[in-house]
Structure formats: C-alpha cells, structure tokens
Amino acid sequence: ETGVTQTPRHLVMGMTNKKSLKCEQHLGHNAMYWYKQSAKKPLELMFVYSLEERVENNSVPSRFSPECPNSSHLFLHLHTLQPEDSALYLCASSPWVTTYEQYFGPGTRLTVT
Amino acid sequence: SQELEQSPQSLIVQEGKNLTINCTSSKTLYGLYWYKQKYGEGLIFLMMLQKGGEEKSHEKITAKLDEKKQQSSLHITASQPSHAGIYLCGADIKDDKIIFGKGTRLHILP
C-alpha cells in the first residue's frame, strides 16, 4: 500500500480556471517530486523539493506553480492551462533528494477543456 | 541528448509464458530503475541496478544490467494476470538527472 496520496484523482478544468493538486506522504521522507506523464511520452520530472526547498525546476511553464509548506505536503497550483497540459500528474517522495527508491502516488488525471 | 529506448512498446503474452522487456541507452548509466504502473495509476518501484553485471530478483521478476551498463532486461517467469501493466525503466545520468523510457505495455491473456 503506497504511503503517498494524491487528491483529487480526476480533475476537469477550463483554461481560465485556477485549481490545485495536493500530494501528501506519510513515509517521513524529506524529498518530494512532481512528474507529468502524457500519453505516449516518457515521464517528465517537473519539480523537486528537498526539506521544503525547491532544488530543481525543469523549465516548467509558469502556469504551473508548486508549493511545499512542509516535508509531508506538496501542492501544484494550476492557472490558465492549455489543452496540451492534460496528462497524469504524479507525485513521489524519497527519503532524501536521491533518485533511489522513489515512492509514487496514484496520480491525478487532469483534463483541460 | 540521452534517451532510454524500451522494447517492445507493447507485449501480449499467454498466461504462464515467460517474457523479457529491454531498456537500452546510448550512454553509460549510473543507476537503472524498473517501475511498474497499473493503467492510469502511480508507479511501483520494482528494482534498482547499479553495478555492471548485476542481477536482482523479486518473486518471479528478474532484472539484469549488462557489463557495459548500457542495457537492462526485465524477465518475468511464468507470467500471471497480476503482471499486466506498464513497465517503465528510469535511469540516472551523469549530471544527477533522471530520465525515463516510454514504457512497455504488458497484457496477459488468460
């Protein structure tokens, strides 16, 4: 059973809406990640947080805004998205900022209309 | 730019048969990870390989990293319906970045 939860599981939003994705990990980890998985494309790393500090931002458009208020919670704030932003957004955590044994949440299926 | 090539893209196997999925890089890998994803859900970490020639097993799944550390294979013995899903390889590359393949969709026929 995964220790990483994500809400909502499904989200449909218009291009002018503002919404947020939430991720919570119950594993006592210090690093958290946002990934985007689009159909027929490799998984893309979006943001990395270590001890609530952002350590990596892989050239993600500013319409995606992450927030990490503490080591257990991670948010992805969305505004003025485009239809091509429709994808599965996965959150993950790991003990420290390392790619070893990342634990993934179930993802949020986002559809932008 | 470095990429991970996974093959095959899709695989349909009769229950009970063995199968192999490959993950190939054009450059040396510093760590290779195998994940499993059920359709539309999160990833489950399976195994990590770091040393050339390393082999690890978990239940009926075995993964190897070749000596040159440029290719890994995932082998499932006596496949079961529970093995169905998307298998994804991920890798550490030199500048602490992580890259992923496009995944292999595995279907198991009863």
pLDDT tens digits, one per residue of B90-110: 887 765 567 888 899 999 999
Whether the Cβ atoms of residue A113 and residue A64 lie closer than 8 Å to each other: no
Strands A108-112 and A10-13, bridge-based pairing: parallel
Q: Which of A48, A47, A49 is nearest to A70 (CA)?
A: A49
Q: pLDDT tens-digit profile of A30-57? A: 999 999 988 767 788 899 898 888 887 7
Chain centroid to CA A18: how far? 16
Give the residue, B1 or B9, on which the prediction is more confident: B9
Tell me which of A11, A104, A108, A111 to substitute to probe the interface with B (most B C-beta atoms closer than 10 Å).
A104
Q: Is A100 on the interface with B (CB under 8 A)?
A: yes
Q: Which of A56-65, B30-39, B89-98 has the lowest mean pLDDT?
A: B89-98
Q: How far is A91 from chain B (nearest CA, A)?
A: 8
Closest CA to A37 of B97, B36, B41: B41
Burial class (CB in 10 A: 0-12, 13-18, 19+), A47: buried
| pLDDT confidence tier of residue B78, bands split at 50, 70 and 90 | very high
Residues A86-106 have pLDDT tens digits of: 999 999 998 887 655 778 888
User: Contact, B72 vs B65, CB < 8 A?
Assistant: yes
pLDDT of residue A1: 47
Burial of B47 (0-12, 13-18, 19+ CB in 10 A): buried
Dump pLDDT digits (tens) for B44-69.
Answer: 888 889 888 999 998 899 999 998 88
Given the structure tokens 């503002």, which residue do they identify?
A: A18
> Which pLDDT tens digit goes with each residue over A17-29?
899 999 999 999 9
